[in-house]
Structure formats: structure tokens, C-alpha cells
Amino acid sequence: MSDFLLERLSSFLSGVNASSPPLAAGQVSLVGAGPGNPELLTLLAMRRIIEADVVLYDNLVGPAILDLVSPEAARHYVGKKAAKHALPQEEVNQWLVRLAQSGKRVVRLKGGDPFVFGRGGEEMEALLAAGVDVEIVPGITAAVGCAAYAGIPLTHRDWAQSVTFATGHLKHGLSELDWPGLARPTQTVVFYMGMTAAAGIAEALMAHGRNPETPVAVIYHGTRPDQKVVIATLATLAQKISAAAMKPPALLIVGEVVKLYRPD
């Protein structure tokens, strides 16, 4: 990076830092780390990570982002994978409360955005109920970041007039979802945590009227150097995932906009 750019960046960051107060003792910041690429981290997220005394981080937070944590700060993994939770959510909530009440500056670091399938709402409720000051630092959610890096617009004048985010991992199974609504044409549906349920998702959409030839993109490690995209249709989705030996976590994008995908 040139001296000119470094000078401009330093000047810009100085102005930004003056616009918002630092993380306070006894405060918890729920920080969105974005979809994976560390360059997509927001400036406020970066500041909060650097300021923290303690960072509790999730599975999808990359090592380059964790490198921002101060050497003097404690970092603890509290992430979740399919059927593998480092800690139950209730224990994470209680830990955040205890850390804040002990006077620590706490960052709860989450992949994507804290309020999009990130359990951030539950953590905020627990903190507020305990009288803890909590702030939310938004991040680029996976659907937006992964779609952009794959060159797939989530909405398009000709193909999709709306977009819906849904989760493929529910307490009581896929039957909880509004399948008639999700199967409506001229919309894009993005499924988070949908890899293990991909076959069931495709079957349910087709059973409720979505065209079996509707294109689907499966995006693994979106926005990262090892991003992988598999293109299928609803009818071929399970077969294509199996043939590509893809594993969670991955995002499913369903809709005609997937036709606009072009491989590098």
C-alpha cells in the first residue's frame, strides 16, 4: 500500500474513531463478522474486536479476523456445528452476563449479522433482562455476501421481485416453514444451514408447486479464497451435492436469478 493511501486511511480512521465512543467496561457488543472475507468486516466491528477484554466467537469467524484480538484479551470458542455445540445457548447467555457484570469489555463475535439466524436476539434479551448494556454491530449477512461473490443478484427486475431468507435447521423440522409461500415463483429463496436438509428442501418446494427445473446454487465458504459453487436444479440438487462431496456449512440460493451465475 502506498504512503498516500496509508495517510488517507489513517486520516479517515481518525475521523471515524471520533464519531462513536469506545466499548465501555461492563458493556457487551454483539458484533457481526461478515460472511468470511476479513476485508468485508466493518470498521466499527474491527474497533470493537481490538478494544475487547474478552471475545466469545463462533464457528464461522475466520482466523484473520481473530488475529485482531488483543494479545492481552481472552478469547473463547462457543461455536455451533451440526449436532456439535461447544456450549448450550443458555450457558453462552449466562457467561456473557457474568463477564459484563465483572466489568469486562465483551465482544460476542458472530459470523454474518448477529440478527440473521445468529441467535443474537436471544442473547440481547438475556443481557437486557440482566441489566447489561448491549450494542449491536451489524455485519454483511451470508446471503448478501455469498451471492455477490458468486455474481448472483438476489433480486432482478426480470427474474425475482422479492427475496426470502429461511433456515434449513429448525427445532421441529422442515414442516415449520411456509412451503406454499416459499414455492411461489418470481422470488429468490436463500436457505441458511440448508446443506443437510437439501433433499428435503427440494422435495418440499417441488411438492408445493415450484418448477423442478428451478436453478439452485450451493455456495460453500462464500467470499473466501476457497469458495466453491455448485449449480443444480431442484430435481438434481441432492445428486449434485453428493457428486461434489460438499459438506456443511453452505448456503442454498433457489430461483431464476441463479441463471446469471458465471464461473470465474
The pLDDT tens digits along the chain (264 residues) read 577 777 777 777 777 666 789 999 999 999 999 999 999 999 999 999 999 999 999 988 989 999 999 999 999 999 876 556 678 999 999 999 999 999 999 999 999 999 999 899 999 999 999 999 999 999 999 999 999 999 999 999 999 999 999 998 776 677 789 999 999 999 999 999 999 899 999 999 999 999 999 999 999 999 999 999 999 999 999 999 999 998 888 999 999 999 999 887
Does the reported pTM lie above 0.85?
Answer: yes
134 and 153 both lie in a single domain? no
110 and 218 co-located in one domain: no
Supply the range of the domain harboring residue 51: 3-140
**Same-domain check for residues 16 and 133:** yes
- Residue 4's pLDDT is 79
CATH assignment of the domain containing 127 = 3.40.1010.10
What is the pLDDT, as a whole number, of residue 27? 99
Is there a single domain that holds both residue 172 and residue 252? yes
> Do 78 and 184 belong to one domain?
no
CA distances from 193 to 226, 248, 256 (A): 19, 7, 21
pLDDT at 34: 97
Is residue 183 located within the same domain as residue 238? yes
pLDDT for the residue 174: 79
pLDDT of residue 129: 98
What does DSSP say about strands 188-192 and 250-254: parallel, antiparallel, or unpaired? antiparallel
State the pairing for strand pair 250-254/84-85: unpaired
Distance of CA 137 to the CA centre of its chain: 13
Q: Are residues 205 and 131 in the same domain?
A: no
The total number of structural domains that make up the chain = 2
Domain end (from 81, 112, 140): 140
Q: Which residues contact 121 (CB under 8 A, 6 or more apart)?
A: 115
The answer on 115 and 51 residing in a single domain is: yes
Active-site positions read 58, 80
Last-in-domain residue among 95, 114, 140:
140
Domain boundary among 94, 110, 140: 140
- In the chain, DSSP finds a helix count (H) and a strand count (E) of 9, 12
